Structure 1
Amino acid sequence: MSERPHEIAEETIAFLRHHLLDPTPQNYTLCFAAHSGAHPALHKALAAISDDGIRVTQKDADELFAQFLTALPPGLTNDEPDFARALRHQALKITDAVNDAAVVAGAFNLELSSDYDRLKTDPANVATILATMLDRSRKAENELAAAMAELQTLRTELEAAREDSNRDAVTNLHNRRALLAHLAELAEAKRDHVLAICDVDHFKSVNDTYGHVVGDRVLKSIGNALSTACAPHVVGRWGGEEFLVILSDTELSDAKRIIEEAREHVAGTRYKLRATDEPIGTITFSAGLVCVNDTDNGAQEAIIRADELLYRAKSEGRNRSIAA
């Protein structure tokens, strides 16, 4: 996922203007998703139309939106609607701010042209006309400054909305959407990496015995342990009590050592109820690790292989990791 939302917003507006596409929420969302790197397939499809200097028509844009953005990718049904709504909302506000700035600039140009014509036809009142022009210039400058300040605020809000859309609400780690985007980036760059799926053992009994609030605190604690042990690699909540760790440019043996350090830390932690200090007992997790390279047919195939190793670890007694 790109980390330069300000530049992407500017690139999106420039792309729409270059191709004479109206800055509607749908067009903005389409081009922003393509330029952000969050949707590699959409980016390639848009580039295939425009790379040879051919203008993207509104029909092209509508067809791409229908093909790539109206149907949600698997596993994103819980996250994508909120993100899409936030993005559309910010797109409308940014479009309004840009249009306001354009109106101010256009009106100022017309007024200057009119004043210039008066200078030629009424040279006796040069001082008065120049004073009027300076006053209009200051007014236009203030209005443009206000419009740009609003645009900067909206950019900040857009960045915050995008960041929130990539975070799991319980653990504050990357969510499934962000993990899939990162895997797509690695695949596109043909970078080898190791996938580790970690699943908390007997987590249902924690929820059933102590409630979901305690269960969420346990998940957050395990997420923190994985993040610390695996830094600077990407760690996220895959769903439920499952975490996904993506270790880029790492040998399988090194990745297993890292996951084992996290597993031992979690198993050695004594969890207690916050209100009463009552011990919860030992919490452990099991993990399956696989190497991913450019011979794999997408991340989904690697995830299936890692999942099979995870359940093998479960069947062999839990609280262990298996790499292959």
Structure 2
Amino acid sequence: MMWGAVQAGADRPDVEAEQGWDAEHEAALFLDEHRLDHCPDNRAVILYAIRHPDSALGREVARRTDGGVRLTSEDVVALRPLLRAHEEAGAGQGAWQRDLGVQADRLEALTSDARQITSDFTSDMAALSRAHRDATDASGTKDVAVLIEQLIARIARTEHDLAQLSGDIASLRDRIETAPRDADVDPLTGVMSPVGARRLIAELADQPHGYGLATCGLDDLDVIEARYGRSVADNVLRAFVATLRQACEGVDIIRWQDNLFVLLLRGRPLAHLALMMEEARAAMLARTLRLRGSGEPIGAVTLSAGVAVGMGVPMQEAFDRAEAFRAIASAGQGNRVVSRA
């Protein structure tokens, strides 16, 4: 089955199964065609891509299967972060809609109360004036005091409710501003983009125990692209990121630009990140990457990395040192990790 054939149905989201298009059935056929296991994770990725072809996940599946290329299990693993980003964004959007509806109802009710209080204020004050004017004994004065206390209590309750609502709306605004978006995730590799890492980067200088920063990239990606084409180079990049994930558990990975990745490890010694990068280098060298279809190996693919420490300094300072080390590492044949000159 071609992905384009699946998209033909998915382009009409209003078409239901009884009208001739069943996304669940299409997902099952897709998994069979691409020889993928029908496990819940695989099924969830493909089903979402079929139902939302214009999403980042749908477009990436379409790109990877363009021309009849078979999707592999490694591809699906690499695509899962995109699915999580979509699910979190969708769940957050639904929550915002519900919360906004609740806050709007509360605001409308409080606005109505405030209008009523304003309207009543004139009449209440007129009543107080008359009561004060007509008061000739202690009981009349007591009535005036009771009216004043009731009015003050109503105003205080409304002020409290308005203050609480203001706090709720501010919290809701923060949730909306910090929610994940498509731009937060690199669509090719599924790791963070610089946009997605902006808050993390801003907080680095305040890390009490400092942070480790590595910059890394593949040594011969340009040669691979020139020889085999962009799609093969993209697949090699995805394999590279999968290797980084396995070797650098607990590290934040950012695709900084093209073949340059930034890895951040907070609160642990520099040696930990340097060791992880060395493990990633050895694992990448040991991989045998082959062309789909022919099975021809493309040869050894290596990485070079520079590792620096940041202690109470912005990311740019540690980044510049790591890049200087990476330049040393990549000189000659590359395939090195340098953490000190």
Larger Rg, first or second structure (1 or 2): 2
Query: Of 261, 267, 278, which residue of structure 2 is paired with 1:249?
Result: 267
In structure 2, distance between residues paired with 1:93 and 1:227: 35
Verify: 1:313 aligned to 2:329, yes or no. yes
Inter-partner Cα distance in structure 1 for 2:212 and 2:226 = 33
Aligned residue number for residue 102 of structure 1: 107
The AA in structure 2 aligned to 1:248 is: R
Partner of 1:117: none
Tell me, in whole angstroms, the C-alpha distance in 2 between the residues paired with 1:160 and 1:253: 32
Q: 2: distance between equivalents of 1:291 and 1:258? A: 14
Gaps of at least 5 residues in structure 2 are: 1-88, 117-168
Please give the per-residue CA displacement for 1:33-61, whole angstroms capped at 9, x wherever unaligned: xxxxxxxxxxxxxxxxxxxxxxxxxxxxx
Q: Is the 8 A contact 1:223 1:243 kept in 2?
A: no
175-184 or 158-167, which deviates more: 158-167
- Tell me the CA shift for residue 289 of structure 1: 0.6
Whether 1:323 aligns to 2:336 is no
CA distances 1:66-94 after superposition (whole Å, capped 9, x unpaired):
xxxxxxxxxxxxxxxxxxxx9xxx7x978
1:210: which partner in 2? Answer: 228
Contact 2:310 2:317 in 1 (8 A): no
TM-score (norm 2): 0.50
The 3-state SS of whatever aligns with 1:274 is coil
**Letter of the 2:304 counterpart:** S
Report the TM-score when normalising by structure 1: 0.52
Give the letter aligned to residue 321 of structure 2.
R
Match of 2:184 in 1: 166
Change beyond 3 A, Cα 1:249–1:208: same
Q: Which amino acid aligns with 2:217?
A: D
The amino acid of 1:299's aligned partner reads M
Q: Distance in 1 between matches of 2:311 and 2:232?
A: 38
What secondary structure is seen at the aligned counterpart in 1 of 2:308?
A: strand
Aligned pairs for 1:16-165 within 5 A:
97=101, 98-99=103-104, 102-103=107-108, 162-165=180-183
Summarize the Cα distance change of 1:212–1:161 in structure 2 as closer, same or farther, 3 Å threshold: farther
What's the C-alpha RMSD, in Å, of the aligned pairs? 3.6
Flag structure 1 segments of 5+ consecutive residues without an equivalent: 1-85, 112-150
Q: For residues 80-129 of structure 1, what are the alpha-carbon distances to aligned partners after superposition, in whole Å with 9 as ceiling and x for unaligned?
A: xxxxxx9xxx7x97897443553367669999xxxxxxxxxxxxxxxxxx
The match for 2:319 among 291, 303, 315 is 303
Instruction: Look up the SS of the partner of 1:243 in the other structure.
Output: strand
Is 1:194 aligned to 2:234, yes or no? no
Q: Deviations over 1:204-239 (max 9, x none)?
A: 111222222221111111111111211112112111
